[in-house]
Structure 1
Amino acid sequence: MSDPCLPVRHVRPAKGWINDPNGVCRWNGRWHVFYQFNPDEPRHGQIHWGHASSADLVHWQEEEVAIRPRPGQLDEVGCWSGCFTNDAGTPTFCYTAVATGPADAVGAIATGSDDLLGWQQAETPSAPRVGVPAAETRDPFVVWIEGRRYIVQGHGGPGVPAQVLVYDATDLADWKLLGPLLEMTDPVAAEHAAADIWECPNLVQVDGQWVLVLSLWRHNGVQGELSGVRWLVGDIALSDGVPRFTARDGGVVDHGPAFYAPQLLPDVDAAEQARVLMWGWSWELDRDDAWLDAHGWAGVITTARELHLRDGKLVSQPAPEVLSELVEEASQSWTAGDGARVVTTTGPGRLVCSAADGPEVVELTGASTVVVDGSLVEVFTDGAAFTTRIYPTDESVWSVQADGVTVARL
């Protein structure tokens, strides 16, 4: 039986758990999104890297699992988040290898075939664990600064101030720690992105300015809490080849309750001006074990979003390729499970899902573009993004109550 909650035009397999997008790239003219994946059950654990590819950012093909935990190896309990890089023609993953738990994580690499379907995981770490025993370090991201390759990683933990560490990554088999790229002592970072660990740091140039995107992990005394995603725009200064980031301003990447751990991709093959694309993880909201077991899946990767700076602020919209795939439809309502939709409005209003399992309404605060796919709802209003989840049932009907509405099938 079809599942009205299951997204059909976004990255996720038919079953299992997924979280962070990893290794996003454009290789040989095709888009690839790898992702944190537990194929065995809809819960976090035994993390592999799943893989999907697409020619158009809309129709995604599930590929074979790319890398997986190896008994007795440095990634025995998980191949956690990381990135893709082109190492002089060799496809390479830089990832977080976990042998027993987050505090023992090390940096590792895997090299791939030219079709990105076969991967060889290294047997020795590229970077050892760092810091005091309570500290955690994870989520490598490759960035080029003035012709030199670096890796940034998130660092911190209970009683350990959040930092972004930077490494010389000239040799991907041996990352050399250079020190902190950014620390919580930066007043702008402290104001906009206070956290115990800065997870999934992404450092890219957007419209010619350096932007650092951070996912906030905060300790609540019992366990960690995922506390949203922030952007910082600033400057990079190099001293003897060591980069340091100083923030000028900051803000919220997505204002919704179900968005975390994005990965950014500078699209160097863009036909016109350079651009940056972003994918994020949208988790399930208020779903209990019974729901997870009945549906057999959890998590979805968001629409590819194009990022720009407007008046010094980071803004986002669905990638133009997504919107170009639309098929016009006249009706302002549709039955749940009947494919994905993109809704545009010229003014404020409401998106309503009747007979939903939980909340039924999303408020639209102005002229908006809305992507609805299964239970995933992404709202874009004047450059601001809002990602949430609404869970339709077999009896549900979606409808839009606003001015100037256009509904199109995706």
Structure 2
Amino acid sequence: MQDPHHRFIRTPRFLSALLFAALTVSVTACATPSESLSAGDTGTSQWRSALHYTPQRNWMNDPNGLVYYKGLYHLFYQYNPNGNFWGDMSWGHATSPDLVHWNEQPVAMYANEIEEIFSGSIVVDTHNTSGLGPANSSPLIALYTSVYKAGSGHAPGTQAQSLAYSTDDGQTWHKYSRNPVLTLDPESNNFRDPKVSWYAPGGYWLMTTVVADAHVVKMYRSDNLIDWAFLSDFSLRGIPHQGTLWEMPDLFPLPLDGDSRHQKWVMLVNVNPWSIAGGSGAMYFVGDFDGRTFTPEHVAPTGSDPSQYQWLDHGADYYAAGTFANAPDGIALTIGWMSNWDYADRIPTTPWKGAMALPRALALKTIDGMPRLTFAPVEQYASLVRERPATRIKELAVWSTAKALDPSTKGIVQNIDVTISPRSAQRAGLIVRGSASGDLGTRIFYDTTSQTLTLDRSKSGETNFSSAFSKQHIVNLPLENGKLHLTVVVDRNSVEVFADNGRAVITDLIFPAPADNRMSVFADHGEAMFSDIVVTNLSSDKPGTRPSRWRAVTGAASAD
């Protein structure tokens, strides 16, 4: 869980506070128009996601409490119930039967006069090890970070891990009477983001959490989710990103190359502001965990730049990623916040700010002699795409030009599959959300000289709301038999590119005009072949309307 003043961490602490106060005033002023919207005014609805979860109103960031329970996926998240800016951190809540269609629920836990509710996780306490549920029940247990205020009994700003429980399937939450259940000695202002899972070989609960400014993941164990014993620390030698933060850790096993007898452990560490694309990003390490210590393999040498590390996403807008607890069939499912702390408070959306990326399934495969994560949109999304009619183009050759595709490929919410063979072209790719003039659009292209895939949003639409809104994001990616397969997910304000069967992903926000709905392909300085093009439009509603798959559940928010 990040808060905005951390972008000033290189300044003395008292200056950080002054800057944060100034920023809050500025952001609040910017948010004022959205707070005065009339009942019939939908704000910037042309940029409200159709495929990605957004709250109806107000600020949202990190996903929290990801859990599957009784046929529903629960997404909790950092939320401000009181405005379209960061502050009053509480837990919002949404549910879905399929990770595609989301229902917004009442706020789960509110900030109050003595604490704010920062990031955390939820587990199903199957055998009621906590004793917090009725006999023979399986309560939901949330471990979250309390950020204490004056009058709490802790120094203002102290962060410690607290517990809440639900005995009605996550509808209402009760805070444990003896919170916090875990704190440091001396207490810290940067001890946060508990992620809890069941460690089956040892028969105990495992927690990863961070001391964010020290770049340390701390691991603990518990038999009852209440009393925690320290196991070990994970960090790196010669941290190349001093002055940044480590956040939202996650540790879980995956079979290597589909072999359940050969499991490796994956450690997710979200880092800000040192990501591969600038600002916020999610890196990972693969290694072994013996029940006490995580030992990574193939760690980048001391002093390496970001390109030598492994990333969940090479775009600018994928952060705070975590996995769902209790997922069906043991599949590793992840979701991330689709934004970046470099400009999250400035994106031009009202009356909400923030969205979640498309949920993804993770797998671990040997690539270039190393175990690496691969990423795919969840099967429920793939099924949705298969059910819709599509425009199909078997082959299309292009020589040193751009070619608009058939009008049937126009769309603002769509899935695009394409195989690119660059051949003699220096660059070859496609343009999505293009304008009628051809001057605007998001370009996705392969460069044969550098062997890189690039997403270029420099002419994607509205870009001048922040000088930190970076324009190009690149990943090294060799061709396979001279070809590159892409799956591109286009939404009203985002593009996600899954390349080479999920070997790499680029996720970026865009803010185009509703009329910019054209698709074309292009080749620079030579010939390129585009084959097996399948364009599936996924929204039948008119531009600027709220997606039909979204609805809010009305009713009073649950009590704190």
Aligned residues: CA RMSD: 2.8
Write 1 or 2 for the structure with the bigger share of helix. Answer: 2
The equivalent residue for 1:301 is: 356
Q: Are 2:90 and 1:48 equivalent residues in the alignment?
A: yes
The equivalent residue for 1:38 is: 80
After TM superposition, give the deviation of residue 166 of structure 1 in Å.
Answer: 1.1
- Retained in 1: the 8 A contact 2:430–2:445? yes
The equivalent residue for 2:253 is: 205
In the alignment, which of 347, 351, 358 is matched to residue 431 of structure 2?
Answer: 351
Structure 2 residue identity aligned to 1:310: K
C-alpha separation in 2, matches of 1:298 and 1:359? 24
Q: Are 2:512 and 1:392 equivalent residues in the alignment?
A: yes
C-alpha separation in 2, matches of 1:227 and 1:126? 29
Structure 2 residue identity aligned to 1:362: R
Secondary structure of the corresponding residue to residue 215 of structure 2: strand
After TM superposition, give the deviation of residue 115 of structure 1 in Å.
Answer: 2.8
- Retained in 2: the 8 A contact 1:46–1:69? yes
Q: Are 2:205 and 1:149 equivalent residues in the alignment?
A: yes
Q: 1:133 to 1:268 in 2, by over 3 A?
A: closer
After TM superposition, give the deviation of residue 268 of structure 1 in Å.
Answer: 4.6
Structure 2 residue identity aligned to 1:393: A
Tell me which structure has the larger Cα radius of gyration: 2
Write 1 or 2 for the structure with the bigger share of strand. Answer: 1
The equivalent residue for 2:465 is: none
C-alpha separation in 2, matches of 1:370 and 1:53? 25
Q: 1:47 to 1:289 in 2, by over 3 A?
A: closer
C-alpha separation in 2, matches of 1:195 and 1:318? 34
Which deviations, in whole Å up to 9, do the C-alpha atoms of 1:27-86 show, x marking residues without a partner? 0011111111113222111111111111121111111111111223xxx2x211111111
- Retained in 1: the 8 A contact 2:435–2:518? no
Write the mapping of 1:4-403 to structure 2, written as runs, cut at 5 A: 4-72=46-114, 76=115, 78-87=116-125, 88=128, 89-100=138-149, 103-130=157-184, 136-145=190-199, 146=201, 147-157=203-213, 161-180=214-233, 182-185=234-237, 190=239, 196-207=244-255, 208-218=263-273, 226-238=279-291, 243-249=292-298, 251-265=310-324, 268-270=327-329, 274-283=330-339, 292=348, 295-311=350-366, 312-326=371-385, 327-330=388-391, 333-336=409-412, 340-347=413-420, 349-354=429-434, 360-365=441-446, 366-382=484-500, 383=502, 384-401=504-521, 403=531
Q: 1:98 to 1:332 in 2, by over 3 A?
A: farther
C-alpha separation in 2, matches of 1:195 and 1:287? 19
Which deviations, in whole Å up to 9, do the C-alpha atoms of 1:160-181 show, x marking residues without a partner? x31111122223233333341x
Q: 1:205 to 1:136 in 2, by over 3 A?
A: same
Which deviations, in whole Å up to 9, do the C-alpha atoms of 1:300-357 show, x marking residues without a partner? 1111100011111111010111110121232553344xxx32111122622332359x
Structure 1 residue identity aligned to 2:294: F
- Retained in 2: the 8 A contact 1:371–1:379? yes
Secondary structure of the corresponding residue to residue 106 of structure 2: coil
- Retained in 2: the 8 A contact 1:103–1:133? no
C-alpha separation in 1, matches of 2:520 and 2:74? 33
Which deviations, in whole Å up to 9, do the C-alpha atoms of 1:224-271 show, x marking residues without a partner? x94421110001134xxxx1111003511100011100011255522x
Structure 2 residue identity aligned to 1:369: T
C-alpha separation in 2, matches of 1:259 and 1:266? 20
Structure 1 residue identity aligned to 2:79: F
C-alpha separation in 2, matches of 1:95 and 1:267? 18
Structure 2 residue identity aligned to 1:66: A
C-alpha separation in 1, matches of 2:281 and 2:440? 21
C-alpha separation in 2, matches of 1:18 and 1:332? 35
Which deviations, in whole Å up to 9, do the C-alpha atoms of 1:12-40 show, x marking residues without a partner? 11221111111111100111111111132
Which deviations, in whole Å up to 9, do the C-alpha atoms of 1:203-232 show, x marking residues without a partner? 01122211001001359xxxxx94421110
Which deviations, in whole Å up to 9, do the C-alpha atoms of 1:72-105 show, x marking residues without a partner? 3xxx2x2111111112311111111112399511
- Retained in 1: the 8 A contact 2:430–2:444? yes
Q: 1:399 to 1:262 in 2, by over 3 A?
A: same
Q: How many equivalent residue pairs?
A: 381
C-alpha separation in 1, matches of 2:236 and 2:64? 25
Q: TM-score, normalised by structure 1?
A: 0.84
Q: 1:344 to 1:120 in 2, by over 3 A?
A: same
- Retained in 2: the 8 A contact 1:107–1:138? yes
- Retained in 1: the 8 A contact 2:85–2:345? no
Secondary structure of the corresponding residue to residue 300 of structure 1: coil
Any stretches of 5+ residues in structure 1 without a counterpart? 220-224
Structure 2 residue identity aligned to 1:261: A
C-alpha separation in 2, matches of 1:289 and 1:200? 20
C-alpha separation in 1, matches of 2:181 and 2:342? 37
C-alpha separation in 2, matches of 1:42 and 1:288? 11
Which deviations, in whole Å up to 9, do the C-alpha atoms of 1:190-211 show, x marking residues without a partner? 57x8774321001011222110
Any stretches of 5+ residues in structure 2 without a counterpart? 1-40, 129-137, 150-154, 256-262, 299-308, 392-406, 421-427, 447-483, 522-529, 539-560
C-alpha separation in 2, matches of 1:176 and 1:391? 47
- Retained in 1: the 8 A contact 2:280–2:341? no
Structure 2 residue identity aligned to 1:344: D
Structure 2 residue identity aligned to 1:200: M
**Which structure has the higher relative contact order (CA within 8 Å, separation 6+)?**
2
Deviates more, 1:345-354 or 1:14-23: 345-354
Q: TM-score, normalised by structure 2?
A: 0.63
Structure 2 residue identity aligned to 1:259: Y
Secondary structure of the corresponding residue to residue 121 of structure 2: strand
Secondary structure of the corresponding residue to residue 63 of structure 1: strand
Secondary structure of the corresponding residue to residue 406 of structure 1: strand
Identity %: 28
